[in-house]
Amino acid sequence: MSRRPASLSRRLGDGAGIPFMGSLNPKSRPSPFLSIGLVLVGAFLIIGYVYSGSGGSNADKVALSRLEAGVSCSSEIYQALPYLKKAYRDSMHKVLHVGPDSCAVVSKLLKEEDTEAWGLEPYDLDDSDANCKSLVRKGIVRVADIKFPLPYRSKSFSLVIVSDALDYLSPRYLNKTLPEFSRVSADGFVILSGYPGQRRVKVAEMSKFGRPAKLRSSSWWIRFFVQTKLEENEAATKKFELAAAKKAYQSSCQIFHLKSLH
């Protein structure tokens, strides 16, 4: 299983991080402009420390920027793709992506050598661009409610990648949806899910999803997989983690590799 990135927060002492604070005369009444200036100086020093070469690695800076911007597991696929290719190799030749922003993910996958890709968008494509409309017209990307049987035959794809779609489903529907991913995949499926406490990119679209995202812990997911008789794809997990470790890649999302049930 992928590990959660280490926290990037840094704690400061009470007033210790603000220079010259101890040199102020307690009997004097400093100008409010001086106080504001000191706070701003302290803030700039902190930001400079975090982003300086000695304040953290490049990986930390990337992770920090992702956390500040909000987390999208569909976007995380772009970062994870090289390691997914290492883990699945030939199984990456016929891929189905399920989740929001499926047009963008499919367009990225189609640029990969020897890869055919399709997409299933669980929500309406209200503001789709010309490229997305073209993919929909060609039948490469479809819109369908994943709470019901998927519109594909068994083993239609070698691999299914799911992102940002399951966090909005209750266990009642997960019981029906996960077996469907297993049914339409020949070599397994990959789930990317947010960590509890993360800020989601698409909070404003809650009405579109019908309910707020329920970000579950890895232990919750593992128990659920056991209850639904889904098994971890240990071989793919090890290959993925080994390839990621060589490049110091840390995912902003939980990544689960599961076997197909056939």
> Torsions phi, psi of 229, nearest 5?
60, 35
Q: Is 48 a domain residue?
A: no
Helix (H, G, I), strand (E, B) or coil at 123: coil
- What pLDDT shows up at residue 56? 42
Q: Is 142 a domain residue?
A: yes
How would residue 51 be classed by pLDDT, with cut points 50, 70 and 90?
very low
Find the CATH number of the domain harbouring 137: 3.40.50.150
Beta strands in 91-163 (DSSP E): 94-98, 116-121, 141-143, 159-163
Residues 6 or more apart in contact with residue 162 via CB below 8 angstroms: 97, 98, 99, 181, 189, 190, 191, 192
Instruction: Provide the 8-state DSSP code for 89.
Output: G
Rounded distance, CA 169 to CA 249, Å? 28
Mean pLDDT across 136-157? 95
Do residues 164 and 72 touch, judged by C-beta distance below 8 A? yes
> Torsions phi, psi of 200, nearest 5?
-85, 150
Q: Is 118 a domain residue?
A: yes
Q: Is 51 a domain residue?
A: no
Q: In what order do the strands lie in the sheet with 159-163?
A: 141-143, 116-121, 94-98, 159-163, 189-193, 254-258
Rounded distance, CA 116 to CA 99, Å? 17
Q: Is 173 a domain residue?
A: yes
Q: Is 103 a domain residue?
A: yes
- Note the pTM of the prediction, 2 decimals: 0.72
Query: pLDDT tens digits, residue range 191-241?
Result: 999 999 876 555 444 445 556 778 999 999 999 999 999 999 999 999 999
Do residues 87 and 236 touch, judged by C-beta distance below 8 A? yes
First to last CA, the chain: 23
In the beta sheet, which residues pair with residue 95?
117, 159
The structural domain count of the chain equals 1
In the beta sheet, which residues pair with residue 256?
191
Q: Is 215 a domain residue?
A: yes
Least confident span in 75-84, 111-120, 203-212: 203-212
> By residue range, what is the domain housing residue 111?
72-259
Q: Is 2 a domain residue?
A: no
